[in-house]
């Protein structure tokens, strides 16, 4: 991993970090669960506060997906503690997940969270890491735009559905304009399989636009 940022499909690089809930080792402490590691530019900033409230309010949805949350910024742990105290006191929202203190920027730089043209703080990065410690999705948002928690949850559901059923997931799933909440069959692996794909569609309970674009319901 040295000299380059992590990529999709790679194992998340092992890091030991101080957090508001004690030391965590990532990904080792989370094997068997999915993990969303997300960075924010700074504590006590407006957009970041709205994001943390949103993540906190949706925390049970992540837990139901066997997924943990962990935040990060280039602030010290004591700053995180004071900020979450402020959120609890002023907004009546408890932040249930840990926040990494990375005031030296070691983790942020290793993970590509600092983009020089956007300043010295972290951008709004999101790493979705699966239950085996593999990076499955990376999002980057600029400081001025808060991220969409709905899309993060949707992506986790889509990845887990694809893994469990050996299928692909269409655009805007589960509200795709062509096939609704249905999922896409993997492409044929031979000429013969391609020839019989459409012929077998009715009996196999799937629908095809063509042999390379077939879909089915999971219900």
SS3 label, residue 113: coil
Nearest Cα to Cα of residue 168 among 103, 99, 216:
216
Angle between helices 77-91 and 46-57 (to 10 degrees): 70
Identified catalytic residue from 17, 36, 48, 108: 48
Q: What gap in Å lies between CA 72 and CA 146, rounded to an integer? A: 15
CA distance 136 to 159: 8
> What are the residues whose beta carbons fall under 8 Å from the beta carbon of 85, sequence distance 6 or more?
none
Is there a catalytic annotation at residue 48?
yes
* Cα 187 from Cα 69, distance rounded (Å): 34
Per-position DSSP letters for 93-156, written without gaps between them: ----S-EEE-TT-HHHHHTT-B-GGG-SSB-EEEEEE-TTSBEEEEEEE-TTS---HHHHHHHH
For residue 38, what are its two tokens?
Answer: 């997300």
- Cite the active site residues: 48
């Amino acid at each position: 991993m040295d000299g380059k940022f992590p990529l999709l499909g790679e194992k998340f690089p092992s890091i030991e970090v101080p957090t508001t809930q004690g030391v965590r080792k990532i990904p080792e402490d989370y094997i068997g669960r999915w993990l969303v590691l997300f960075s924010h530019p700074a504590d006590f900033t407006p957009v970041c506060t709205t994001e943390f409230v949103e993540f906190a309010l949706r925390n049970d949805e992540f837990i139901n997906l066997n997924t943990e949350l962990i935040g990060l910024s280039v602030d010290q742990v004591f700053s995180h503690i004071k900020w979450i105290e402020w959120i609890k006191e002023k907004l009546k929202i408890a932040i249930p997940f840990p926040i990494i203190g990375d005031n030296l920027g070691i983790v942020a730089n290793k993970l590509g969270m600092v983009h020089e043209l956007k300043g010295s703080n972290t951008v709004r990065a999101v790493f979705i890491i699966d239950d085996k410690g593999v990076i499955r999705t990376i999002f980057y948002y600029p400081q001025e735009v808060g991220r969409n928690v709905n899309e993060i949850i949707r992506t986790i559901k889509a990845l887990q559905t694809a893994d469990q059923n050996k299928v692909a997931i269409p655009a805007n799933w589960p509200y795709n304009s062509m096939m609704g909440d249905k999922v896409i069959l993997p492409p044929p692996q031979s000429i013969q399989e391609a020839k019989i794909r459409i012929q077998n569609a009715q009996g196999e309970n799937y629908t095809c636009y063509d042999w390379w674009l077939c879909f089915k319901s999971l219900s």
